[in-house]
Amino acid sequence: MTDCIFCKIIDGEIPSYTVYEDDVVKAFLDISQGTPGHTLVVPKKHVKDLFEYDEDLAAAVFSRLPKIARAIKKSNPAIKGMNIVNNNGEVAYQSVFHSHIHLIPRYTDHDDFK
């Protein structure tokens, strides 16, 4: 899909800071960092949202989250926890319509993110 910003990032047409990449996903820093290290895990196959995944793609993408989360945590000893956020549909605050999973590091008991 040529007008998809995340397809362009996956194809290298738009620059991004890659955190992790393999044949199934690309994980890169969110341009707007909720907290430092805020990462988007994006399937290389263009699916709009959760409702478009089949079981094989879901298994492949979601099973990679712990490994990517560990890599982010290892990169910064100050990271104490992490939120996983996945917005599906405009009413659920999805703004880029190529499915992605937010990994948002947490640093203290009371830090906040938008």
Which residues does the annotation mark as catalytic? 100
Instruction: For residue 31, state whether it binds ligand 5GP (rule: CB under 6 A).
Output: yes
**Distance separating alpha carbons of residues 44 and 7, to the nearest angstrom:** 7
Question: Does the footprint of Zn ion cover residue 45 (CB under 5 A)?
Answer: no
- The least distance separating ligand 5GP from the CB of residue 112, rounded to whole angstroms, comes to 16
The option from ligand 5GP, Zn ion, none interacting with 96 (CB < 5 to 8 A, set by class) reads ligand 5GP
Q: How far is Cα 89 from Cα 71, in angstroms, rounded to an integer? A: 29
For the bound state, the minimum distance from the C-beta of residue 30 to ligand 5GP, rounded and expressed in Å, comes to 5
The phi and psi torsions of 103 (rounded to 5 degrees) equal -110, 115
28 binds, among Zn ion, ligand 5GP, none (CB under 5 to 8 A by kind): ligand 5GP
* Piece of the chain touching Zn ion by CB under 5 A; list 12-20, 21-29, 33-41, 95-103: 95-103
Residues with Cβ within 8 Å of 67's Cβ and at least 6 positions away in sequence, in order, are 20
* b/e code 40-53 from CB counts within 10 Å (16+ = b): bbbbbbebbbbeeb
